[in-house]
Amino acid sequence: MQRDTIVFNLINQELERQQHGIELIASENFTSLQVMEAMGTSLTNKYAEGYPGRRYYGGCEIIDQVEQLAIDRLKQIFNCEYANVQPHSGAQANAALMLGVLQPGDKILGLDLSMGGHLTHGSPVNFSGKLYEAHFYTVKKDTGLIDYDMLEEKARTVKPKLIICGASAYSRDIDYGRIRKVADEINAFVMCDMAHPAGLIAKGLLNSPFDDCHFVTSTTHKTLRGPRGGIILMKKDFENPFGLKDVKSKTRMMSNILDMAVFPGTQGGPLEHVIAAKAVSFGEILTDDFTAYAKQIQKNAQAMAKAFTAKGYNIISGGTDNHLMLIDLRNKNLTGKKAQETLDKAHITLNKNAVPYDDKSPFVTSGIRVGVPAITTRGMKEEHMPLVVALIDRVLMNIDDQKTIAAVSHEVKDLMKQFPLYPQLNK
Ligand SMILES: Cc1ncc(COP(=O)(O)O)c(C=O)c1O
């Protein structure tokens, strides 16, 4: 068969785009070459419905070892009794978790999407808001911090079966203990979706959700720096989770219920090439190099927040504990949409984002979300953050000046040459 030059040319163009630019999308990262290598392998050819040692297909003896390795390494990272590495994505992990724990029509309580929550935490346009009765808590208008009083009050009045914590655009740590306390009062489960800060949690740099949350889900491609994918974890497995009488032996343990909720509940064959890449990235997370990386993320985020504040930018909650920050651009007379689109022209990539109590539509927004995991992978340190902020500021303060934008785009390209990305891949 002829080589598909059309697709491979596009792939090369995307590689160059990634190499040239300053990547500040908080949910993105650059995997190691060996993680990508594992994904592009013969494992993509294999059907392996089921789990290691209990598959519906023959020929799974190697695949079983790969998947078991991924499970064991993941359990070791977070010191957990249970891990499922099959969810194809973060959204799939959440769908499976809810399928396992909830009945259609059950009540859930999550952080409002417009306040930093995620679509899968009850948004009406998502399965979570269509299949379940979704209720929301918010952040406080004056501090930008989660309104735990409101969360408790809603929990007591609504009595959800599942309280969801975790967020997509929240820069502060979470008080899991407080959430668990009210959950116990009303007999609810607590789930943490740690997709964003998982890499920092893995290294003990943020509060751990594992003691207080019955379930933890995550993506693997954000701060964990693995391939795109999802995972489900439990620190402790438990028996007869719904307190039913005469529970059949097969469904006695929560781990069985969750495994079945992933397959056959919400997915078919697992992506074993991606699971192999997950295993490689989990091996990387277990190293001291990754500890240094996670610490550097936090240092970079704090240095960046300081540099933005010094230039008069309004950071929601006044700073960051993790890898990202949310900036309200209203005092700069800019929308998130205009900022994102103009920065794109200068090869600085980030995303527009609603700020809490935003008066603009989600397609326009008053804010931008800025994250440092990807530039930290490229080797940038605290001392580089003021320079990155200065480049962003020059574009934003000269938003319609094509000359400035072109000049910044050249400076960005030059700067990023100092932080090479996958040089081995350039032909
Ligand atoms: C908190 C959170 N959960 C889940 C997801 C969904 O992950 P995926 O895009 O892999 O489905 C995201 C993605 O941005 C997220 O931020």
Q: What tens digit of pLDDT does each residue of 154-194 get?
A: 999 999 999 999 999 999 999 999 999 999 999 999 999 99
Q: 34-285 maps to which CATH number? A: 3.40.640.10
31 lines ligand 1 (CB under 6 A): no
Q: Would 5-30+296-425 and 34-285 be classified into the same CATH topology?
A: no
Beta strands in 308-420 (DSSP E): 314-315, 324-328, 348-349, 351-353, 367-371
Query: What average pLDDT does the chain have?
Result: 97
Q: What tens digit of pLDDT does each residue of 347-365 get?
A: 999 999 999 999 999 999 9
Beta-ladder partners of 234: 82
Neighbours of 59 (CB within 10 A): 10
Q: What is the mean pLDDT of residues 412-425?
A: 96
Q: Provide the pLDDT for residue 249.
A: 62
pLDDT at residue 198 is higher than 80? yes
Q: What tens digit of pLDDT does each residue of 44-69 get?
A: 999 999 999 999 999 999 999 999 99
For ligand 1, atom 8, which residue shows the shortest CA distance? 90
DSSP 74-117: HHHHHT-SEEE---SSHHHHHHHHHHHH--TT-EEEEE-GGGT-
**Rg value, the chain, Cα:** 22
**Among 222, 225, 278, 352, which one carries the catalytic annotation?**
222
pLDDT at residue 250 is higher than 60? no
- Show the tokens assigned to 220: 């693997």
Q: What is the mean pLDDT of residues 304-310?
A: 98
Q: Where are the domains of the chain?
A: 5-30+296-425, 34-285
Residue 309's alpha-carbon distances to 8, 298, 350, 419, in angstroms, are 42, 17, 18, 26
Are 104 and 131 a contacting pair, CB within 8 Å?
yes
Are 318 and 259 a contacting pair, CB within 8 Å?
no
Query: Which residue among 120, 126, 350, 353 has the greatest number of ligand 1 atoms within 8 angstroms of its CB, and so is best to mutate?
Result: 120
pTM assigned to the model? 0.97
Measured from the Cα of 194, ligand 1's closest atom is 1
Q: 5-30+296-425 maps to which CATH number? A: 3.90.1150.10
117 lines ligand 1 (CB under 6 A): no
Q: What tens digit of pLDDT does each residue of 110-138 get?
A: 999 999 999 999 999 999 999 999 999 99
Q: What tens digit of pLDDT does each residue of 211-235 get?
A: 999 999 999 999 999 999 999 999 9
Q: Provide the pLDDT for residue 426.
A: 86
Residue 96's alpha-carbon distances to 5, 134, 215, 266, 283, in angstroms, are 38, 17, 12, 6, 25
**Among 31, 120, 138, 219, which one carries the catalytic annotation?**
219
- The question of whether 49 is a catalytic residue gets the answer yes
Q: What tens digit of pLDDT does each residue of 81-100 get?
A: 999 999 999 999 999 999 99
